[in-house]
């Protein structure tokens, strides 16, 4: 997984690439300095993308819009939803990709819902993975 994460930003990720039958005792994540991967350190600073008009439809899908306040677009952005139970414990998440997010524009997203009756709340985030486009 690769994407730009500017200083002070937070990343939230959900993937359908794998699942587990039982809740693990812990999950470990290793973050490598960019030099370890020989990635570019030439970031373009940007304003955070904004999530708006979020609602859950009758099928349980999460619908909303991503607003890009920047003067440049992005080739690929992920909309990520995380679900929590009534006590605030993380239950899981879902995500969807949105291609060609235009400069100073708005695009819709539709994320498949989580099939878990314990889900009491959800929150939607964005993560920029793609390249900057004009």
- CATH code of domain 48-133: 2.60.40.10
pLDDT digits (tens, 9 = 90+) for 53-70: 999 998 889 999 999 999
Longest dimension (CA), the chain: 46
pLDDT at res. 68: 95
Q: What radius of gyration, in Å, describes the C-alpha atoms of the chain?
A: 16
- As a whole number, the mean pLDDT across the chain is 80
Strand partners, 73: 133
Band of residue 104 on the pLDDT scale cut at 50, 70, 90: very high
Torsion, CA 65, CA 67, CA 73, CA 76, rounded to 10: -40
Average pLDDT of 88-117? 91
Q: Give pTM, 2 decimals.
A: 0.72
Domain range annotation of the chain: 48-133
């Amino acid at each position: 997984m690769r994407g730009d994460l500017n200083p002070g930003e937070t990343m939230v990720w959900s993937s359908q690439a794998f699942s587990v039958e039982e809740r693990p005792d812990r999950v470990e994540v290793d973050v490598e300095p960019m030099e370890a991967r020989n990635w570019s350190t030439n970031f373009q600073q940007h304003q955070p993308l904004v999530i708006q008009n979020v609602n859950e439809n009758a099928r349980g899908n999460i619908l909303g819009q991503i607003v890009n306040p920047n003067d440049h677009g992005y080739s690929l952005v992920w909309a990520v939803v995380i679900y929590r139970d009534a006590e605030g414990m993380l239950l899981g998440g879902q995500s969807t990709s949105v291609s060609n997010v235009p400069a100073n524009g708005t695009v819709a997203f539709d994320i498949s819902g989580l099939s878990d009756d314990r889900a009491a709340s959800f929150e939607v985030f964005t993560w920029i993975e793609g390249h900057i486009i004009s």
